[in-house]
Amino acid sequence: MRVAFPAQMRRLDKLAMEVYGIPGALLMEAAGKAVAEQALQMVPPGSRVAVLAGGGNNGGDGLVAARYLAGSGPCCQVEVFLFCLPEHLPADAHRNYQILQHVAEARAQRAPRLQGQAGGLQGAGGSVRIMLVPDAAGTAAAGVGAGGAGVPDGDWLERVARAAEGADLVIDAVFGTGFHGELPAFYAALFDRINGARRSAGAPKVLAVDIPSGIDGATGQGRRALWADCTVTFGCAKVGLLIHPGAEAAGHVVVADIGLPESGGTGSPSAGAGSQLGGAGSAPGGVPNPEAGGASQEAGGSNPQAGGADGWAEWVDAELVRPWIPQRPPAAHKGTFGHLLVVGGSPRLAGAVATASWAAVQAGTGLVTAALPAGLESAVWSRGPEVMAWGLPESSYSAGSPESPDSGRHAGTLGPAAWEQIAPEVQQGRFQALAVGPGLGTAAETASFLALLLEQAASRPEIRAVLDADALNLLARDPRRFQPLLAAWGWRRLILTPHPGEAARLLGSTVAAIEADRPAAALSLAQRWQAVVVLKGARTLIASPAGDLFINSTGNPGMASGGMGDALTGMVGAFLAQRVPAVQAAVLAVFLHGLAGDLAAGLEPASGSVPGPGPAGTQPRFAGGSPQFPQFQQRPRAPRPVSATRLLDCLPAALEQLLSSGNSSPHRA
């Protein structure tokens, strides 16, 4: 399923209005109605609803939702808090503010007994109250309630917080998907109050409009966001909703079709080069526009919205990866499914190459050979007899010895002598793929071994490779040496699988910077090292130098244990050996790795997107109601930890589950 960055959605909105001629007011009406539909699946008619509306189009969507919820059918009691003066709203949002006022005034005329209440108006259906809240920066005066009654001065933070705490449902329409940076103090304090109240019995539910306020739509980051039980997003899911912590803050995500053009004329994901996109804006009158990035934007600041191809990404689910599983025709033999050479191992780390090798066997490789220092073969044999162990000459130097004061030399690791034994087999084309790095070590002679291996194997166009662990550390230590070697491979033959620490070293950055913008980090790694990159972590990302960006849907925190990365390396190598193209091999391996982890943790597999009712399971209540929308279900936390061994035991079941729901077809390079 296609996923968008905020900049792409801005372009799509503009295209809808300027090229397709769809009025912005019509899009806002559809969005607000979808929010109201979802609200009534979360709370029953007659409920108290607090709508927090910002100064952008996101706030306009909230105003439309308020009108529907206060209508004659649902009869909800709605209180709207508008965080700007009406004249500062964008045109479509301002028009919907006026409509809401007129509706309230018309009801007031039908209910004279309530006209004396400040801002309180009730008709045959529900009630609506509009409160104009001073701007968080203090630039707006206290507003006027609907019906003309003045709003008294007071502690606005306390007033809004108490109203939200006393509601059955809070609709968060403060900031849109363009928000980034830090929340202004007023909103941060308000969101803290509401988040805190939700821990108590009888707490209000929260429904976010497009994205939880305070979450960056491009990165998923946000320290003090307003956490939601459910988020209704428009057109397609946003990247920030699917990457942690945004994925947790969003709760249950529902994608509403509001009539945007399907493709926007920009092509599909994985079709074109990546781009750096961005944008900011202000509402009329100099008041910061939350829809365009929030009041926290500083002058001269920027937030590049790293996008995949044309600003799109792809959500990885079973439907996407199933066709990429290699078929096993009746006349197949072990040579049909390739020969993988797993290279690694050093004293105390022999288990890493054993885990990677066994993972490759479980993922369907025809033949697996584990090349590791002589004397460590028993670690491979102990996992199963299917892996061929190849003991190679180990280095004879020890750290700090008189013969070699170089502290980078260590006994028991692979060096040039090991390459001399491997070279004839590699040069004769015995292997279809290499998986290099698990437990390899970072000695100086091991770096020389890796350089020789990469240089010589690159000349064999049928060989693909995945590099992980210490192989990545050696690349990062000497990029001038290794970047030309990797360039000779071409990115369609090469995959790197770093965790955030390794990614930081490869980019010369920090783990904090990597985690602050994982999509940009993955795309930057792919460009700098000219390889397909698997950036591991919660919601693992796969990126290519062409701008492809994939967000994985499987996996759970129970998988945070040693050996998981080695298992993934073996699985990636397995699919490369079976001649699955590099991008597909990486995506397929990551998905199956997470699916096996979910089965091992006792979790139901994530479907990615499913049709069906919202959290309350009720039906739409408005005449001509919208159809049910695609939804992203939030997964429960893993009930128990998962070992790499347990994950690999579940891998055949994961493959069977994926195959049983559809037919696979071969993909050959």
DSSP state of 209: E
Confirm if 315 and 554 have CB atoms less than 8 A apart. no
**If you write DSSP's letter for every residue of 462-511 in order, what string do you get?**
T-EEEE-THHHHHHHH-HHHHHHHHHHH-GGGEEE---HHHHHHHHT--H
**If you write DSSP's letter for every residue of 323-348 in order, what string do you get?**
GGSPP--TT--GGGG-EEEEE---TT
pLDDT at 375: 87
Mean pLDDT of 484-492: 96
Tokens read off for 473: 């550390």
What is the distance between the alpha carbons of residues 24 and 17, in angstroms, rounded to a whole number?
Answer: 6
Express each pLDDT in 611-653 by its tens digit. Answer: 333 333 334 444 443 434 566 666 666 668 999 999 999 999 9
Express each pLDDT in 253-288 by its tens digit. Answer: 999 999 998 644 333 333 332 322 222 222 222 223
Burial zone of 479 (CB within 10 Å; 0-12 exposed, 13-18 middle, 19+ buried): middle
Burial zone of 101 (CB within 10 Å; 0-12 exposed, 13-18 middle, 19+ buried): buried
Mean pLDDT of 70-94: 89
What is the distance between the alpha carbons of residues 61 and 69, in angstroms, rounded to a whole number?
Answer: 12
User: Is it the case that residue 20 has pLDDT exceeding 70?
Assistant: yes
pLDDT at 111: 59
Confirm if 497 and 527 have CB atoms less than 8 A apart. no
What is the distance between the alpha carbons of residues 163 and 146, in angstroms, rounded to a whole number?
Answer: 17
Mean pLDDT of 27-36: 97
Which of 224-229's residues contact partners 24+ apart within 8 Å by CB, and which partners?
224/183, 224/188, 224/191, 224/192, 225/183, 225/191, 225/249, 226/172, 226/174, 226/191, 226/194, 226/195, 227/195, 227/198, 227/251, 228/172, 229/42, 229/205, 229/615
Mean pLDDT of 342-371: 94
- Write down the mean pLDDT value for the chain: 82
Mean pLDDT of 549-566: 95
Q: Coil, strand, or helix at residue 533? A: strand
pLDDT at 383: 77
Residue type, 485: L
- Partnered with residue 207 across adjacent β-strands are 171, 230
pLDDT at 628: 42
What is the distance between the alpha carbons of residues 518 and 343, in angstroms, rounded to a whole number?
Answer: 29
pLDDT at 145: 35
Q: Select the more confidently predicted residue: 125 or 211.
A: 211
Window from 29-43, 297-311, 320-334, 520-534 with minimum mean pLDDT: 297-311
pLDDT at 613: 31
pLDDT at 605: 58
pLDDT at 73: 66
CA 435 to chain centre: 26
Express each pLDDT in 381-407 by its tens digit. Answer: 877 789 999 999 987 654 444 444 444
Q: Select the more confidently predicted residue: 24 or 376.
A: 24
Sign of CA dihedral 421, 422, 425, 430: positive
Mean pLDDT of 48-67: 96
pTM of the full structure: 0.85
Tokens 């039980």 found at: 229
DSSP state of 114: G
pLDDT at 262: 66
Express each pLDDT in 152-184 by its tens digit. Answer: 334 889 999 999 999 999 999 999 998 989 999
pLDDT at 662: 58
Walk across the sheet containing 77-82 and list its strands.
Answer: 120-122, 127-132, 77-82, 48-53, 169-173, 205-209, 230-234, 252-256, 631-632
- Partnered with residue 209 across adjacent β-strands are 232
User: Is it the case that residue 56 has pLDDT exceeding 60?
Assistant: yes
Whether the link from the prior residue into 245 is cis, omega within 30° of 0, is yes
User: Could you tell me which of 493, 444, 435 has the C-alpha nearest to residue 469?
Assistant: 435
What Rg, from alpha-carbon coordinates, does the chain have? 28
Question: What torsion, rounded to 10 degrees, do the Cα atoms 116, 119, 120, 126 define?
Answer: 150
Confirm if 172 and 52 have CB atoms less than 8 A apart. yes
SS (H, E, C) 229-286: CEEEEECCEEHHHHCCCHHHHHCEEEEECCCCCCCCCCCCCCCCCCEEECCCCECHHH
- Partnered with residue 368 across adjacent β-strands are 340
Mean pLDDT of 302-328: 77
User: Is it the case that residue 151 has pLDDT exceeding 60?
Assistant: no
Q: Select the more confidently predicted residue: 329 or 569.
A: 569
Tokens read off for 546: 């062409």
pLDDT at 201: 78
Give residues with Cβ within 8 angstroms of 370, minimum separation 6.
Answer: 342, 344, 345, 353, 354, 356, 357, 380, 387, 388, 389, 390
Tokens 């347990």 found at: 646
Confirm if 549 and 315 have CB atoms less than 8 A apart. no
pLDDT at 107: 65
Query: Could you tell me the pLDDT band of residue 34, with boundaries at 50, 70 and 90?
Result: very high
pLDDT at 637: 65
Work out the number of other CB atoms within 10 angstroms of the CB of residue 626. 16
User: Is it the case that residue 489 has pLDDT exceeding 90?
Assistant: yes
- Partnered with residue 534 across adjacent β-strands are 542
pLDDT at 524: 97
User: Is it the case that residue 479 has pLDDT exceeding 80?
Assistant: yes
* Percentage of the chain lying above the pLDDT 90 cut: 67
Q: What are phi and psi of 533, to 5 degrees?
A: -120, 130
